[in-house]
Every structure is written in structure tokens, then in C-alpha cells.
Structure 1
Amino acid sequence: MNPATRTVTSADGTAIGYDRTGEGPALVLVDGAFCSRSFGPMPELAPLLAPNFTVYNYDRRGRGQSGDTQPYAAEREIDDLEALIDAAGAPVHLFGISSGAVLAMRATAALPGKVRSLAVYEPPLLVDRSRPAPPEDYRKQVDDLIAAGRNGNVVSFFMTKVVAAPAFVPYVLRLTPAWPKLKAVAPTLRYDFAVLGDAFRGQGLPEEFRKVLGAIDVPTLVADGGKSPAWMHNGVQAVADAIPHPRRTTLPGQTHQVKPALLAPALINFFRAESRHGTESRDGAES
């Protein structure tokens, strides 16, 4: 393990690696599929947030410098977040992107009092038939590919059958430096699917997840990109409609691969406002 890596221990004994940068109120970042604190949007986003917050950027279990204790359950990832939040000093601001947004929402609902405010960017929920749904057995197909050690095929299947990217995308990716990194963490795609549950079948919000959203009792920024496809907008709007205290925004010109330089100002404005509101509320309670 990198000697500079900080760690916390989750409830099942799993070591969770993280970085801490900046000053100010604690802000925890939650990655989506295939990403880690050294790969994806967070390495660029964290320094942009650090002048305003103490930023905690961590490796989800099975990635980077974090352990992968078995058997896996989505609840263990909530335990991981709770351990990190406790180390940061609850309550914290929480931001999640893609499947990490779904995990952040589940954690906020499950850990009352430990999240001050929440922001999510494009939780990938397929709630209608505005695009073809993945195969009914898509999770089993991925499990079988992983069991056979065909990590590259896992990435290709995800891109074409789940994300519905054009067929040439995996071939292009194979020629980039990102390909080995994607293959290395491909087995953790099962974890993202477990976090999503049944929310990617094109049949509306599952009742289980609707209850999760209804239990999120903190201000929540729900964001998407102006150039993202209709199915993504529809899923994001379904989330906003089900959360008690939403703040809805769309970042012009952005897609699911949002530019951190354009995302950061929206997060800073939202979390700074909620930090001030929290301070004013405490001062009012004490006077």
C-alpha cells in the first residue's frame, strides 16, 4: 500500500483507502463504475473543491488501495462510507456520481444525522422505454464473464449492452491507456449492479428504491448534463420527484462524462450555501 494512503476500517474489517485534501467543512466523494481516487473524474475534481472543503476521496472496496472482503453486499459499501464519514467528522457533505450517486443516496437514507447535504450527478436509472433495456439476465452474463476471467469482455458488454454505446466504442478503448485500468476493476461491476438493484430495467422506480429516496431528509442537489440522452434525463427527474428536498439543475453542454471544471462550481455553490445554512441553524438554536 502507498505509504501516503490513509485508511479507515469498515465494520467487516475491510481497509478502505482514502486521500484528504483542503480545508473547511468535510466533503466525501463517491465514485461510479470502474473509477477510483486515481482514475476517473475525482482526481481532477477533488483539487477544485479543496479550497473550500476538506475533501475525502476514497477507493470503493475492491478498487485501488481498498480491500475486498467477501461475501459482498451493497450494505457493506454503506458501512465503508459510514467509517469514512465518522473519520471525517459527521455530519458531512456527500457527492456521488453515476452509480456512486445511487450509493450516496442509499447511504444518506441509511445514516440519518451523518450527512448534512447531498449532491448527485446522473444516477444511471433506466425508468422507461426511451432506450432499449439491457438483457433480462445482464447481471448473470457479467457474473459468468468474470468467473471465466474475461475482464475485457465484461467492459465491452457493459459499454454496448448496458450503457448502449455504439459497438465501436470498446474497440477504440482497447487502444487507449485506460483499457488496462478498466479491465483491472471489471470484477467490481457486480457491486455497482448490486447498488442499482432493479432500477435499470426500464420499469419505473422500484418501490424499494422509492422508499430509499423518500427517506433522504437533507437538501439534495440533483444534476444532469444538457447533452445527455433522454433516458438519463428521465431517470434523474424521477429521482428529483421522489426526494423530499430536491434542488434540480442541468449543466449546459455536459454529458455523463462531465467536465470537473464545470461541475465544481455547481457543487461549491450548493455545499457552501448549505454550510452557511447549517451554521445559522445551530447559532439560532443556541441563542
Structure 2
Amino acid sequence: MERTLSADGTRIAYEPIGSGTPVVIVGGAFSTADAGRPLAGALAELGLQGVVYDRRARGGSGDTPPSAPFREAEDLTAVIEAVGGRAAVLGHSSGAVLALYAAGEGAPASHLFLSEPPFRFGQGDPEDLAGRLQALVDEGRPEDAVTLFQREGVGLPDPVIEQIRSSPMFAGLVPLAQSTVYDAALTAAVSTPTAAMTGVGQPVVILRGEPTFPFLVAAAERLAASMPGADLVVVPESHDHAVDPPATARLVRERIA
């Protein structure tokens, strides 16, 4: 992977796949660049350049504490600048929240594709989740931070959490514990999208799968209602908060052609 420097000096790892108009993929909680590679490959097959990157405190990227949501917006801007200075941005889950937040902060995105952003609109926000997660990380308890985020940040039931914790995949989540602090801080700071976010000038497409979780259906519909210029598109091939790469890539190509 290649490296670029964010505004605070943090190294951010990214990788362009294919050639053509760049589309930067912003992953959600617990995801690294690897999670975006199938979508990047599907974009490349359609003549676009899929760009994956590790958000700070993940994978090949660094971290420079203390951090804040605007730091991740700066990271995304640095990646866009590294691949030519302007790009479409496709964010999934908390990555969609970040994409819209960064655009509101002036990130040079040409188009925004927001896949199932988990905006709570001030309803049911966990109290100081980011602070409690950071305390667990600082105490040397990253496993407990992962579990806490899954319970309160994602809303997984305890039986599912225990199943994950006892599975081989859990070991891959533990190194990402610090990143859960940043996801929690971001989604709390803009639980309700700001006027800068809902007023962005770029074309905006809000995506959701069918079926997906009712909370995400409601969030997508409420965001679309707050952004009269945005399109809400159901992608039938995407199921249960997972992105279908070929179908999503086709939609992206149609919209930015």
C-alpha cells in the first residue's frame, strides 16, 4: 500500500485499484482496507478506480492522539488529494457518516454515496461511549472495548457478542479497539447531521439494502428527508448491512458517468 500524510502528520495507508475516475471507499467500524477490496475490484472492472484505505488506528495507518472527528475528515481529504485532488466518495455505515461529515468540512468530493449511515438523530445515543471505550483501551483491556462497542455502538445482542468473542475472528478485531473510540466520537458528535452536512453541494445518493436492519432503514429515510436534493436508492442485492460489490459499482458508474 502507498502512504500519504494527513494534516496532523499521521500516515494514512491507501491503495488505488484500477484506473479512471477515482472512487474512495470509506469503511465502517472494525473494517480495514481489505474489506473494501471487493467493491474496489468491481469498480475497476467498470473502468473506474477504486481506492481503499485504512482509517487511522487501523491496518497500515498510524495514529496521532489525541484525535477528534475532524482528524478523520482530514485523513479522507489527504487520500483524495493523493489520488488526484478530487474523487467520488462511497462510505458505508460509520464510513458514510464520515464521508458526509468530511464533505461538510470541505473535503474535495465530487459525489457522495452514503451506504446505510447509522444516524441516530439524537435518539438512544449511548452516554459518553467514546470516553468509556478510551478508558478500557488505556487500562490495557482492548478486548472489553471491542465488546462494549459491539453492545452499545452496534447494538448486537449478548449471545451474538459472546459467539464472536469465542470465535477466531475476535483476534482480528482486538487490534482495532482504538478505532472504536473514533467511531463512537464521530457518531456522537453528529448524531444529527449538521446544517453543513445536509447542505453539501455535491450530488448525494443514499443507499440501503433490502432487507436490512429497521434502524438503518429509518435512518436512511430520515436523512433523505433532511436533504431534499439527495436520492434514496434501494439496492436489492445488498442484504443485512452488507454491500453487494457488483450492484453497487454499477450504480456508482451510472451516477458519475
Q: Partners in 2 of 1:135 and 1:28 — Cα distance?
A: 30
Find the partner of 2:39 among 38, 45, 52: 45
Task: After the TM superposition, list the runs of 4 or more consecutive aligned residues in structure 1 that deviate by more than 6 angstroms.
Answer: none
- The answer to whether the Cα contact below 8 Å between 1:73 and 1:194 also exists between their aligned partners in 2 is yes
Q: Partners in 2 of 1:225 and 1:252 — Cα distance?
A: 6
Structure 2 partner of 1:268: 250
Q: Partners in 2 of 1:253 and 1:24 — Cα distance?
A: 25
The 5-angstrom pairing of residues 163-202 of structure 1 reads 163-200=154-191
Q: Partners in 2 of 1:255 and 1:155 — Cα distance?
A: 24
- The answer to whether the Cα contact below 8 Å between 2:130 and 2:182 also exists between their aligned partners in 1 is no
Structure 2 partner of 1:242: 226
Over the matched positions of the two proteins, sequence identity in percent amounts to: 29
Unaligned runs of 5+ in 1: 277-287
Q: Secondary structure at the match of 1:241?
A: helix
- The answer to whether the Cα contact below 8 Å between 2:33 and 2:52 also exists between their aligned partners in 1 is yes
Number of equivalent positions: 256
Q: Secondary structure at the match of 2:220?
A: helix
Structure 2 partner of 1:216: 200
Give how far 1:30 is off: 0.5
Structure 2 partner of 1:127: 121
Give how far 1:253 is off: 6.6
The 5-angstrom pairing of residues 1-287 of structure 1 reads 5-38=1-34, 40=35, 42-51=36-45, 52-111=47-106, 114-127=108-121, 133=124, 135-200=126-191, 205=192, 209-252=193-236, 254-258=238-242, 260=243, 262-269=244-251, 271-276=252-257
Structure 2 partner of 1:281: none
The residue type equivalent to 2:102 in the other structure is A
TM-score, length basis structure 2: 0.91
Q: Partners in 2 of 1:12 and 1:198 — Cα distance?
A: 20
Unaligned runs of 5+ in 2: none
**RMSD (Å) for aligned C-alpha atoms:** 2.0
Name the CA shift for 1:191/1:229 in 2 (closer, same or farther; >3 Å).
Answer: same
Query: Which has more radius of gyration?
Result: 1
- The answer to whether the Cα contact below 8 Å between 1:26 and 1:53 also exists between their aligned partners in 2 is yes
Give how far 1:186 is off: 0.9
Give how far 1:59 is off: 0.7
The residue type equivalent to 1:69 in the other structure is T
Q: Secondary structure at the match of 2:4?
A: strand
The residue type equivalent to 1:74 in the other structure is P
- The answer to whether the Cα contact below 8 Å between 1:109 and 1:215 also exists between their aligned partners in 2 is yes
Name the CA shift for 1:70/1:136 in 2 (closer, same or farther; >3 Å).
Answer: closer
Q: Over residues 183-234 of structure 1, what are the superposed CA-to-partner deviations in whole Å (9 max), with x where a residue is unaligned?
A: 111111111122213455xxxx3xxx23132221111110112222322211
Name the CA shift for 1:225/1:10 in 2 (closer, same or farther; >3 Å).
Answer: same
Q: Partners in 2 of 1:173 and 1:36 — Cα distance?
A: 18
- The answer to whether the Cα contact below 8 Å between 1:216 and 1:243 also exists between their aligned partners in 2 is no
Name the CA shift for 1:135/1:245 in 2 (closer, same or farther; >3 Å).
Answer: closer
Give how far 1:31 is off: 1.0
Q: Over residues 33-59 of structure 1, what are the superposed CA-to-partner deviations in whole Å (9 max), with x where a residue is unaligned?
A: 111112x3x132221111221111111
